[in-house]
Structure 1
């Protein structure tokens, strides 16, 4: 598809998506409710996991010195990851239920996204959703095998109304997931669990690259990815979680 180089790209759809995301993320009411929900659900789940996991969860090292918090062990960290994977898996399932393949194909992403890229979006959303669901299943199994109690999914409000906005939120969630795994992985004590976590981290990075691209952002914006702390990530995730 050849474009006139003198034509300015129509970025109206992306601007609308970014505006919607800013409104969603800046809503003080939504933030306070969401932060309270993720704090209660996530940390309650983490506490429950700790009780049965002292022997196995931290690879025999009760100090768990890498975490900076002696109360945290590997099951706690896995439940933290599961909290994020529940959020992502639900996000993609809701999007697939709401939007058809044609909706994604016709999304107003601006003329900077060519038809060949648009044609791939429906399948990409489907496959990424399957990946996140698989992460939920595997993390749930491992936590249970280690004697912990897996945290359950919450209720979510992702704030999108159009396919373009959905893809903008997907970009935000996937990049947050990359930063979350990068921040938590060094605290994992068991080497087998660390290898598994890193294998998920690399997949999340591939997801982020794809959704950066369809949002006309660089798939590889920096030479080094920024890691985020658990508190930083839960603050972001909490903005999408609806308090009951």
Structure 2
């Protein structure tokens, strides 16, 4: 759940047990009691709130429509961890290193929308295809990969189910499906290393996390690597700093 993930991430930060990377979390930190009313109505009372071990509130301030209220991050209160790290107390969990996720490209979004329109269960088809190819590779004692002939056959099957051939021939669409297919193949082969390698191609958070871990032998070194990474980003210029920075 949203609250559970935020509680865990906040505790890891507060106790200096790890680094949190990515984007600021949603900020759901209240406990509600639901009372049933006549005519299938319900009344919700806020009866508690979640705090991290250092007392940071998880609940993010929102307006009547549920939209986050704009904040000046410089004015939000801070707490200090046992190792001397400064954390923001402002609702939600602020990552130690902010990394913006890559969004889907236009044609990738078109693929997903079209698949929904023509009722092609794209996720299921990728899983089935991954299992099929994984079975072949395991039988030949091979590592996770995607032979071109199998991929072309998969695209042909999708076209037969109703996806336009023109859409499937788009370079971005092919690249996206090829990436997803390789991940599914590695999963079916229980090859965690290959799956992570495939995911890193487009998952900036995972790629950055793995890089920091590979460069660090102990926890204090990991924190130092983070500081070095942040300093390097700042030296690259303001444009880069907006995309990758500490809170």
* TM-score normalised according to structure 1 size: 0.27
Higher helix share: 1
- Larger of the two Rg values belongs to structure: 2
Bigger relative contact order, structure 1 or 2, given CA contacts below 8 A and separation 6+?
1
* TM-score normalised according to structure 2 size: 0.26
